[in-house]
Each structure stands twice: as C-alpha cells, then as structure tokens.
Amino acid sequence: MQKQKEILLTAEGYRLFEEELNRLTTVTRQEVRARVRDTKPTSDEGDDAAYDSAKVEQALVEGRIQELREILTRARILSEDEIRTDEVQLGSRVLVTNLTTGRQVNLKLVSPLEAAPERSQISTESPVGEALVGRQPGEVVDVRTPAGVAQYRIEQITV
C-alpha cells in the first residue's frame, strides 16, 4: 500500500477547508437532500429537469466533501516558526514592487489548493510564485505573463 503524499497547508488554509467541510456536511448536504426529495417525480410523465439538477448537485456536494476529507487527512499545517523571512517560501508574505508600473503589492504564497488571487494569495506553483520562491529581499525577478515579461523587486518578506 502506497502512503499518500502529505499536503502542506497554511493554518489559515486548513481552517478554511475545515469550515467549508463543516458547512457542506451540516447545512448544504441537508438542503440538497431536501431538494432531491421535493423534486422527485411522482409519475413517469413528469418533468425530471429539477430532480435531475438536484441529483447532479448532490453528487457534486458529496464529491467535494470527499475531496475535503482527503485534503484534511493528508494535511500538515505549516507552523509560523517554520517560515523564514530571509527568503521567499510557502507561507511567506511578500511585498513586491512592479518595476514597470511602480505599484506595490502584498502577496502571500500558499499551496496550489489554497490559492485565491482575489485575496492576494498566490500559489507557489503560479508563474509569480515560482519566480519568487527561494529569492531574497532586494532581488529582482522576471515573470512571464501573457502581456510579456514583468519585473518585480522583492521589498520585504514577513510571516
């Protein structure tokens, strides 16, 4: 039997996955079951679209519950004292300056499962994340984007 590879998560990411699992198992699952029950066709001639839609939603919810349980089972939470501030790594908060625009951005490097660009949480496997990992304050990195190459200077690394 092959041992499953551990998944390294930030404490915040682990907490968010736990909250999602709790919401899905205690609220969403019951709501979807009720929709399945309430839309079950009573005759062979009835319209099954609402029922079919509810069954698909039920399958998606159950699949996500399984996925979250797997993630949480295999997860190891990265502790703050494991995060260094002398070089960028998973869990680092990084202040970078786009050298073309002069705009500064605060980013947090997270696992691919936790990535949420709308919250400035980028994956260590994203183009920007890959360019930053292992680098130190003051270094300039080139990042290939659809618009061309962007240069970022690492200003500061924090936990």
pLDDT number for residue 44:
66
pLDDT in tens, 6-49: 999 999 999 999 999 999 999 999 999 999 999 988 766 666 89
pLDDT in tens, 59-103: 999 999 999 999 999 999 999 899 999 999 999 999 999 998 999
DSSP 8-state symbol, 42 = S
CATH 1.10.287.180 maps onto the chain at: 7-78
Q: The whole model's pTM is what?
A: 0.84
pLDDT number for residue 46:
60
* pLDDT of 132 strictly over 80: yes
112-124 mean pLDDT: 96
Question: Coil, strand or helix: which one is 75?
Answer: strand
The closest of 94, 109, 107 to 139, measured between CA atoms, is 94
The token pair that represents 144 in the structure block: 């290939």
Span 81-158: which CATH code?
3.10.50.30
* pLDDT of 3 strictly over 70: no
Span 7-78: which CATH code?
1.10.287.180
CATH 3.10.50.30 maps onto the chain at: 81-158
